[in-house]
């Protein structure tokens, strides 16, 4: 499992409770761009839309257009991309408590070479929670320095 894009800011800004893996609907040029790690999940989230049936979409994820693809230069790098989830998985996402957000955590290559997205259900951290996270990280760094 090779991680292509990681959302490091998500663990700092949110406390993640549940995680789930979903497939992504992408074009060939987008897949090549992802495999070259030309993407960002900063500010991205998952939206569930109720058209005739409930569908999940990845919103505001930036995938840079692949530079060697001829016709794909006019595509929008931040377009909404459909997630491949079944009804049961989508209903479990809908049924979560209020005040939570569905956040993309990382994009990776799964079994059989398919591009997958790990999503998590997160609740936003307060400022004092973020300070505690920074303190813990600094203490771990000091301990590691003293060991070396």
Per-residue pLDDT tens digits for 12-30: 888 888 899 999 999 888 9
Contacts of 82 (CB under 8 A, 6+ apart): 24, 25, 55, 56, 57, 58
Residue 1 is classified by DSSP as -
Q: How far apart are CA 111 and CA 59, in angstroms?
A: 25
Using DSSP's 3-state secondary structure scheme, residue 69 falls into: coil
The least confident of 38-47, 89-98, 103-112 is 89-98
Closest residue by Cα to residue 59 from 74, 37, 81: 81
Domain 2-123: which CATH number of 3.40.50.150, 1.10.3720.10, 3.40.50.300, 2.40.280.10: 2.40.280.10
Chain-centre distance for alpha carbon 41: 6
Provide the β-strand partners of residue 59. 45
Average pLDDT score over residue span 102-122:
92
In the block, residue with structure tokens 């990280």: 137
Tokens of 16: 């993640």
pLDDT tier for residue 71 given thresholds of 50, 70 and 90 = low
Above 80 in pLDDT, residue 74? Answer: no
Describe the strand order of the beta sheet including 45-50 as a list of residue ranges.
2-6, 100-109, 115-124, 14-24, 81-84, 54-59, 45-50
Number of Cβ within a 10 Å radius of residue 1: 8
For the chain, what are the domain ranges?
2-123
Above 60 in pLDDT, residue 72? Answer: no
pTM: predicted TM-score of the whole model, two decimal places: 0.81
In the block, residue with structure tokens 């609907």: 25
Average pLDDT score over the chain: 88
Average pLDDT score over residue span 5-12:
87
Tokens of 53: 């049936």
Average pLDDT score over residue span 85-101:
85
Average pLDDT score over residue span 94-118:
88
| Per-residue model confidence (pLDDT) at position 86 | 92
Above 80 in pLDDT, residue 148? Answer: no
């Amino acid at each position: 499992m090779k991680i292509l894009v990681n959302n490091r800011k998500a663990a700092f800004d949110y406390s993640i409770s549940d995680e789930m893996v979903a497939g992504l609907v992408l074009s060939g040029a987008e897949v090549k761009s992802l495999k070259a790690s030309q993407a960002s999940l900063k500010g991205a989230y998952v939206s569930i839309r109720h058209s005739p049936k409930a569908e999940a979409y990845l919103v505001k994820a930036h995938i840079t257009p692949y530079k060697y693809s001829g016709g794909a230069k006019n595509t929008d790098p931040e377009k909404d991309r459909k997630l491949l989830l079944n009804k049961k998985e989508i209903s479990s996402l809908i049924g979560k408590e209020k005040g939570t957000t569905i956040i993309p955590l990382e994009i990776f290559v799964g079994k059989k070479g398919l591009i997958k997205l790990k999503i998590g259900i997160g609740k936003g951290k307060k400022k004092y929670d973020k300070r505690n996270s920074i303190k813990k990280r600094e203490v771990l760094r000091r301990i590691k320095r003293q060991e070396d």
